[in-house]
Structure 1
Amino acid sequence: MEDKYEKLEKVGEGTYGKVYKATGQLVALKKTRLEMDEEGVPPTALREVSLLQMLSHSLYVVRLLCVEHVDNKKNGKPLLYLIFEYFDTDLKKFIDSHRKGPNPSPLSPSLVQSFLFQLCKALLIAVQLE
């Protein structure tokens, strides 16, 4: 993994792992710790990867480029890296920048409508694929 990508900076963190900006091709690496159960890879991780792969051709969902499974060199526990196309921001950061920036302002109704349309389209695609 380290021979393909160089981590530049951490850009986020969530319940299941950390997200890094990385080089190689400029990508976002989502590093996930896998808590293996008796059956192997947790079903939640499999569902996430499966759904992201199905949605990878959608214009409304960030594209999953590939998945890498590696053993953590520090403790031998498995890690799952999800490699995504990189964007400078996400919806939460965009909204927060308007609400908490130097000149707080609400989002325009047309922008909110555009975001809702895109979210609904992505959700529709996901439901149709299930």
Structure 2
Amino acid sequence: MEDYLKIEKIGEGTYGVVYKGRHKATGQIVAMKKIRLESEEEGVPSTAVREVSLLQELKHPNVVRLLDVLMQESRLYLIFEFLSMDLKKHAFIHLK
């Protein structure tokens, strides 16, 4: 996580929190999804493993890109390309 700087919280869901961040070396703006791991004995949730596996394989211009996967203490961070809006906001703007 030392390569990234958290800028602000941009969302929260069942499994964790999403932050807007910046890669310290390149300045690239990213989305940092922090997944809470309930206990060390259980390890990484199967839903997170599936998400990582699929996103590492999936390369499409209409799907957000997974850039990096990091572990820090009892947290899993998925680093994604940052998009200025989600699908709901995009649809709202373009369906007026």
**TM-score range relative to shorter protein:** 0.7 to 0.9
Paired residue for 1:64, among 63, 66, 69? 66
In structure 2, C-alpha distance between the alignment counterparts of 1:39 and 1:19, rounded to whole Å = 22
Aligned to 1:52: 55
Structure 2 residues not aligned, in runs of 5+: none
Please state how far the C-alpha of 1:95 moved relative to its aligned partner. Answer: 3.5
TM-score normalised by length of structure 1: 0.63
Does residue 1:92 correspond to 2:94, yes or no? no
Distance 2:47 2:53 in 1: 10
Distance 2:39 2:10 in 1: 26
For the 8 Å contact 2:35–2:76, the answer to whether it is kept is yes
Q: TM-score, normalised by structure 2?
A: 0.83
User: Residue 16 of structure 2 corresponds to which residue in structure 1?
Assistant: 17
**Helix, strand or coil at the partner of 1:83:** strand
DSSP-derived class of the 1:93 partner: helix
Pair 1:4–1:37, CA change in 2 (3 A): closer
Shift, 1:82, TM fit: 0.2
1:20-53 Cα shifts (integer Å, max 9, x gaps)? 1111221000011012475532211111111111
Larger radius of gyration: 1
**How many pairs are equivalent?**
92
- Counterpart of 1:90, as a letter, is D
Cα root mean square deviation, aligned: 1.9
Gaps of 5+ in 1: 72-77, 99-105, 109-130
